Amino acid sequence: MNEIIHPTEKTKLKRIPKRGNFERETIYKILDEAFVCHVGFVANNQPFVIPTSFARIDDRLVIHGSAASRMMRSLSEEIDVCVTVTLVDGLVLARSAFHHSMNYRSVVVFGKAKVVSEEQEKYEALKAFTEHIVPDRWAEIRPPTKNELKGTTVLSLALTEASAKIRTGNPVDDEEDYNLDVWAGVLPVHLTTGAPVADDRLKSGISVPPNILNYSRK
């Protein structure tokens, strides 16, 4: 597999192109760290952008939802779709309002999603969703039933037209503003978890598994 995803007219960055990245490994790492993607599509001449969970299996994204969902029904027709993911790493605080920004890592994917109809492939996709949220969780839980699989639509989107955009580092102020008596720099932002809170109906004697106690998104 190519280490670079070839840029297209859609994925080529026109605004600050130096922040663009087409390395497959970089794109995959951003996708693997994120929880939520936003799916953009047009249905009945109306644009929609829907947040949803997702997972990556090799060189494709998979999303799932109720078979009755408007988004899943629309995307099942293999219409054009745009999927975005963003991770915020820091608040960039400049000396002027104009140059405030964020350090971030983002991915944009274009394509047409295809329905995953084969039962075992759907099963593996649902496993990937679960493992994407908490690694090693699949072995601890009840797997989906045939009826649950039947009521779930799984869509697959090939990662053949995708790009990343990344900002790092300090604020970039106008030269004359560096003499202002204003604090400037970066306030790092991290996703953290708190102590696990047990379900009210959890059976007694069940302890929190290590993969949850030691959870880390990265």
**For the chain, the helix, strand and coil percentages under 3-state DSSP, each to the nearest 5:** 25, 35, 40
Predicted TM-score of the model (pTM): 0.93
- Residue 1 placed within a domain: no
- Residue 47 placed within a domain: yes
- Residue 194 placed within a domain: yes
pLDDT at 217: 78
Enclosing domain of residue 144: 17-173+190-213
Residue 153 to residue 138: CA distance in whole angstroms: 19
Question: Can you list the residues of the chain whose pLDDT is less than 50?
Answer: none
**pLDDT tens profile 19-37:** 999 999 999 999 999 999 9
pLDDT at 11: 94
- Residue 185 placed within a domain: no
- Residue 73 placed within a domain: yes
Number of domains in the chain: 1
CATH of the domain at 36: 2.30.110.10
pLDDT at 181: 97
- Name every residue whose Cβ is closer than 8 Å to that of residue 207 and which is 6 or more positions away in sequence: none
β-sheet bridge partners, residue 52 = 37
pLDDT at 14: 86
pLDDT at 23: 97
- Residue 184 placed within a domain: no
